[in-house]
């Protein structure tokens, strides 16, 4: 009987075969690889896979063996034969050999994933499905299994971490929670649990990292915000603590403890009640000079509480909500006052002008004894759209060297582009952290 006739006969018999278990998924061989086969060879592969789906392992095995060891689907096919016979060790070896020879073979990776599931190795199984999803992001079976495995792994790790906490095994609990975050980076419970552990160990930078991440993941988690604000206060980061308490009060205006602490901080810092415009800075598509002046004044005690040798004369800020801060930053020479004594508070700040402001602020803080160290040597920095003769080349290179401002993937700085509010806040928060 010819291969074509054999395929037709097998197809006629397939309708009588018992259905494959719904727990086993046998993926069709890659059409891109099979495209190079002859018609008879393609029919032979399809027949072998139909036999596998019908659980006719003996007939499938005989046909696959005839393919020969050099055939792209030889090892994968025999892997499914072994899997159907519950020979998990043999199936694992076959699928691994198939992947080594043909890394693009989806059917082999799916087979290996199912083998590892049956062997009780969920993390290994997940790796196989994630490899499939890298190549085929919309693959339904791999996506569904990956989600299920990820949830199973995370639940097991959370139980393990909780048990370790109860037993006082802090190192084991931390390891489990950190592993949870490898699978679920935004899981609030893991970040908050790690923060509590780090607070007990007095590792405040790590605790603040996880609390900051938790508040970013869920800005409405008022409990996380309270913990973050409290720890910022405890570590004497008073300006940032005040900002965090304001966020708490925005969500829960009746929180008496947060209200009292915010009032105490404002008195301590000499901060007047910040207007709504300040709290809206992160929402701005492009920050203005007055917004950046207010951020500097609110976040840096040396600016807010310092006394300048002279007071800048500015004629156009009487109606600005940030006028108190503008006077401070201008008097210290941190932001430009124009020759006609105007500040132009509502002027949009470009990235070049933000870099200049950052460079002035770094120099100011270093003179105050703040230990700010460049992260990248300036001579190693090359920016494709900022030549040495550019008017802002020096401050731009400084801002990049301290890693306060980033280059874009194409190595440009885009000096004329405006600065979003979130970016301005991030830059100044980074600098505030370096200046501690």
Establish if 134 belongs to a structural domain. no
Please tell me whether residues 235 and 313 are part of one structural domain. Answer: no
**Domain endpoint, select from 271, 297, 324:** 271
pTM: 0.54
Residue with tokens 């980076």: 185
Instruction: Please name which of 28, 79, 35 lies closest in space to residue 49, comparing C-alpha atoms.
Output: 28
Establish if 22 belongs to a structural domain. yes
Query: One digit per residue, pLDDT tens: the chain, 436 residues?
Result: 333 333 333 333 333 333 334 468 998 887 777 778 888 888 999 999 999 999 999 999 999 999 999 999 999 999 999 999 999 999 999 999 999 999 989 999 999 999 999 999 999 999 999 999 998 999 999 999 999 999 999 999 999 999 999 999 999 999 999 999 989 888 999 999 999 999 999 999 999 999 999 998 898 999 999 999 999 999 988 888 998 998 999 899 999 999 999 888 887 776 555 677 888 899 899 999 999 999 998 888 777 776 776 777 899 998 998 888 899 899 888 998 999 999 999 999 999 999 999 999 999 998 888 888 888 888 888 898 999 999 999 999 999 998 899 888 888 999 999 999 999 999 998 888 887 7
As a whole number of angstroms, the distance between CA 315 and CA 323 comes to: 11
Count of alpha carbons within 13 angstroms of residue 369, beta-carbon side: 1
Q: Give the list of residues 6+ apart from residue 220 with CB closer than 8 angstroms, or none.
A: 251
As a whole number of angstroms, the distance between CA 252 and CA 220 comes to: 10
Instruction: Please name which of 265, 293, 252, 312 lies closest in space to residue 424, comparing C-alpha atoms.
Output: 293
C-beta separation of 64 from 48 below 8 A: yes
Instruction: Please name which of 322, 305, 193 lies closest in space to residue 238, comparing C-alpha atoms.
Output: 305
As a whole number of angstroms, the distance between CA 15 and CA 10 comes to: 9
As a whole number of angstroms, the distance between CA 333 and CA 181 comes to: 44
As a whole number of angstroms, the distance between CA 71 and CA 62 comes to: 14
Q: Give the CATH number of the domain where residue 60 resides.
A: 1.25.40.10
Rg (CA), the chain: 32
**Domain endpoint, select from 271, 302, 320:** 271
Q: What is the pLDDT of residue 23?
A: 67
Residue with tokens 């915010």: 262
Residue 203, Cβ density class (10 Å: 0-12 exposed, 13-18 middle, ≥19 buried): middle
Q: What is the pLDDT of residue 106?
A: 93
Q: What is the pLDDT of residue 271?
A: 58
Q: Which two tokens stand for residue 77?
A: 């096919």
Q: What is the pLDDT of residue 156?
A: 93
Establish if 159 belongs to a structural domain. no
Please tell me whether residues 203 and 313 are part of one structural domain. Answer: no
Q: Which two tokens stand for residue 259?
A: 């209200």
Please tell me whether residues 301 and 345 are part of one structural domain. Answer: yes
Q: Cβ–Cβ contacts within 10 Å for residue 204, how many?
A: 16
For residue 425, the enclosing domain spans: 282-434
Establish if 62 belongs to a structural domain. yes
Q: Give the list of residues 6+ apart from residue 134 with CB closer than 8 angstroms, or none.
A: none
Establish if 135 belongs to a structural domain. no
Q: Cβ–Cβ contacts within 10 Å for residue 24, how many?
A: 15
Please tell me whether residues 235 and 328 are part of one structural domain. Answer: no
Q: Give the list of residues 6+ apart from residue 303 with CB closer than 8 angstroms, or none.
A: 296, 297, 328, 329, 332, 334, 361, 364
Count of alpha carbons within 13 angstroms of residue 205, beta-carbon side: 3
Q: Cβ–Cβ contacts within 10 Å for residue 171, how many?
A: 9
**Domain endpoint, select from 98, 120, 142:** 120
- Total domain count for the chain? 3
Please tell me whether residues 252 and 359 are part of one structural domain. Answer: no
Q: Give the list of residues 6+ apart from residue 125 with CB closer than 8 angstroms, or none.
A: 113, 114, 115, 116, 117, 145, 149
Please tell me whether residues 322 and 347 are part of one structural domain. Answer: yes
Establish if 18 belongs to a structural domain. yes
As a whole number of angstroms, the distance between CA 227 and CA 208 comes to: 9
For 257, the 3-state DSSP assignment is helix
Q: Give the list of residues 6+ apart from residue 260 with CB closer than 8 angstroms, or none.
A: none
Q: What is the pLDDT of residue 1?
A: 35
Q: What 8-state DSSP symbol labels residue 305? A: S
C-beta separation of 270 from 307 below 8 A: no
Instruction: Please name which of 190, 192, 197, 152 lies closest in space to residue 170, comparing C-alpha atoms.
Output: 197
Q: What is the pLDDT of residue 270?
A: 64
What pairs with residue 348 in β-bridges?
Answer: 288
């Amino acid at each position: 009987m010819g291969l074509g006739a054999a395929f037709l006969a097998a197809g006629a018999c397939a309708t009588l075969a018992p259905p494959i278990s719904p727990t086993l998924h046998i993926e069709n061989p890659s059409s891109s690889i099979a495209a190079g086969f002859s018609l008879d060879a393609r029919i032979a592969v399809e027949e072998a896979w139909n036999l596998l789906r019908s659980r006719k392992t003996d007939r499938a095995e005989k046909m696959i063996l005839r393919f020969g060891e050099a055939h792209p689907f030889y090892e994968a096919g025999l892997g499914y034969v072994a899997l159907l016979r519950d020979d998990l060790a043999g199936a694992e070896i076959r699928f691994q050999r198939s992947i080594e020879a043909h890394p693009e073979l989806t059917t082999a990776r799916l087979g290996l994933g199912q083998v590892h599931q049956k062997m009780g190795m969920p993390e290994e199984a997940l790796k196989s499905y994630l490899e499939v999803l890298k190549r085929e992001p919309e693959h339904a079976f791999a996506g569904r299994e990956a989600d299920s495995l990820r949830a199973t792994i995370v639940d097991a790790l959370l139980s393990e971490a909780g048990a370790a906490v109860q037993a006082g095994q802090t190192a084991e609990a931390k390891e489990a929670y950190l592993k949870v975050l490898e699978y679920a980076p935004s899981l609030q419970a893991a970040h908050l649990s790690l923060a509590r552990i780090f607070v007990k160990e007095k590792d405040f930078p790590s605790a603040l990292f996880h609390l900051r991440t938790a508040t970013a993941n869920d800005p409405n988690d008022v409990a996380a915000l309270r913990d973050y604000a409290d720890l910022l206060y405890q570590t004497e980061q008073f300006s940032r603590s005040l900002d965090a308490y304001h966020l708490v009060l925005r969500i829960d205006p009746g929180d008496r403890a947060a209200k009292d602490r915010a009032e105490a901080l404002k008195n301590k810092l000499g901060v007047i009640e910040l207007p709504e415009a300040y709290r809206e800075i992160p929402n701005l598509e492009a920050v203005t000079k007055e917004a950046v002046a207010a951020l500097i004044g609110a976040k840096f005690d040396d600016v807010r509480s310092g006394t300048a040798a002279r007071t800048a004369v500015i004629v156009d800020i009487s109606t600005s909500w940030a006028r108190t801060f503008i006077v401070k930053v201008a008097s210290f020479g941190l932001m430009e006052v124009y020759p006609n004594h105007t500040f132009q508070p509502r002027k949009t700040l470009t990235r070049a002008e933000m870099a200049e402001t950052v460079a002035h602020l770094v120099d100011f803080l270093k003179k105050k004894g703040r230990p700010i160290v460049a992260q990248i040597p300036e001579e190693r920095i090359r920016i494709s759209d900022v030549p040495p003769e550019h008017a802002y080349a020096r401050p731009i290179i400084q801002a990049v060297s301290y890693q306060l401002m980033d280059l874009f993937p194409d190595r440009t700085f885009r000096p004329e582009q405006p600065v979003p509010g979130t970016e301005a806040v991030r830059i100044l928060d980074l600098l505030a952290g370096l200046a501690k």
